[in-house]
Amino acid sequence: MPTYNEITNDLRQAYEQNAGRRDESDLQEWKLELRQRFADLLHSEGKQTLLEIGAGPGRFGLFFKQQGLDV
């Protein structure tokens, strides 16, 4: 049975091998709509900060920063 470190190393390598491809791909329309609805909800509730975990190449973080949030 693989150890925790072996599993996380395999996941890290798989992510890094595909990060560029994910960064260059177009976002699906439903993701863009959902992202905007979430930003609107945060603003309507007066939220100013967003902690992004497992953020991928950072496109969503940039979007939320451009929406005026502290990411």
The domain limits of the chain are 4-66
Helix (H, G, I), strand (E, B) or coil at 56: coil
pLDDT score of 13 more than 70: yes
Q: Which residues pair with 70 in a beta bridge?
A: 49
**Residues 13, 16: Cα–Cα separation, whole Å:** 5
Q: What is the pLDDT of residue 23?
A: 66
User: How high is the pLDDT of residue 16?
Assistant: 81
Tokens representing residue 67 in the block = 């929406």
15-60 pLDDT, tens per residue?
A: 788 777 766 678 899 999 999 999 999 999 999 999 998 777 788 9
